[in-house]
Amino acid sequence: MRWLLVSDLHYALKQFDWVLNEAKAFDVVVIAGDHLDISSTVEIRAQIAVTLTYLRRRHAKTRLIVCSGNHDLDARNAAGEKFARWISKVRKFGVPTDEDCLVVNGTLFTICPWWDGPQTCAKVGAQLARDAEKPKDRWIWVYHAPPDKSPTSWGGQKHFGDVHLAQWIEQYAPDIVLTGHIHESPFRAGGSWVDRLGFTWVFNPGRQIGPCPTHIVFDTDERRAFWFSLAGAEVVQLDEPLRRPVPELTELPTWFR
């Protein structure tokens, strides 16, 4: 299988267009949160309407998975914690999202919401405990924030990661965690788009300007992950230990060309 990971599009419509155009080349496309931009001059309801249209069109081309991020919150639950109510509408298109899980060719995807307080945090913990018991060949989490104390959560001066996620990774040891949230991590000294915590691979593509988003391509047959950005391209071999510095990509795979 071949997957595409992007995150933090933040209502950059040209980047949404790029993902829409590239979607057909992949078996699964994951958008790991922050579809909207709370700093935009476009009213949030208008952003939601346009984003839902893009997600519907993209899912028509390939299997799409989305989770919420901190910019996507538009409502409060009974405990007063913020959550992304609008994102549940993508289920009408057949798109799995917050609190869902999906099995694709033996790979279990667990899709976690952005949590804003202890009640939602506890629900995420329960979701992971539930899915830990399910049969699977490979376990992948879609979770907007990267784990704390990881190069994938390094902002240049300090870490901005999720402490609970780091604890859950240690407890359950998923195969892969797909994140975003910290835009600068791949571009700062001491930061990276990839990390390995025990046996768990963690990925954060970062964010860049322009019509093409930073993105990570996974090839499960060749067990490789490729990171593409304006700063260059790098590759890791998923069945080998993580090496630093991460090797530059010198040649595209034949299927990618």
The structure tokens listed for 83 are: 């959550």
CB 150 within 8 A of CB 159: yes
Stretch 19-27: mean pLDDT: 93
In this predicted structure, the answer to whether residue 254 has a pLDDT above a threshold of 90 is no
CB 69 within 8 A of CB 30: no
Please tell me whether residue 221 adopts helix, strand or coil conformation: coil
pLDDT single digits (tens) 52-71:
999 999 998 899 999 999 99
CA-to-CA separations, 44 to 50, 114, 257, in angstroms, rounded: 10, 18, 38
CATH number of 2-237: 3.60.21.10
CA-to-CA separations, 121 to 30, 80, 234, in angstroms, rounded: 22, 13, 33
pLDDT single digits (tens) 172-231:
999 999 999 999 999 999 999 999 999 999 999 999 999 999 999 999 999 999 999 999
Please tell me whether residue 24 adopts helix, strand or coil conformation: helix
Judge if the upstream peptide bond of residue 96 is cis by omega within 30 degrees of 0.
Answer: no
Per DSSP bridges, beta strands 82-83 and 75-76 are antiparallel
Please tell me whether residue 31 adopts helix, strand or coil conformation: strand
Q: Tell me the β-bridge partners of 227.
A: 216, 234
Q: What count of Cα atoms within 13 Å lies in the side-chain half-sphere of residue 246?
A: 26
pLDDT recorded at residue 2:
94
Tokens 């924030």 label which residue? 145
In this predicted structure, the answer to whether residue 257 has a pLDDT above a threshold of 70 is no
Stretch 94-112: mean pLDDT: 97
Please tell me whether residue 96 adopts helix, strand or coil conformation: coil
In this predicted structure, the answer to whether residue 256 has a pLDDT above a threshold of 80 is no
Angle 23-25-31 (CA atoms, 0-180°, nearest 5)? Answer: 35
pLDDT single digits (tens) 126-171:
999 999 999 999 999 999 999 999 999 999 999 999 999 999 999 9
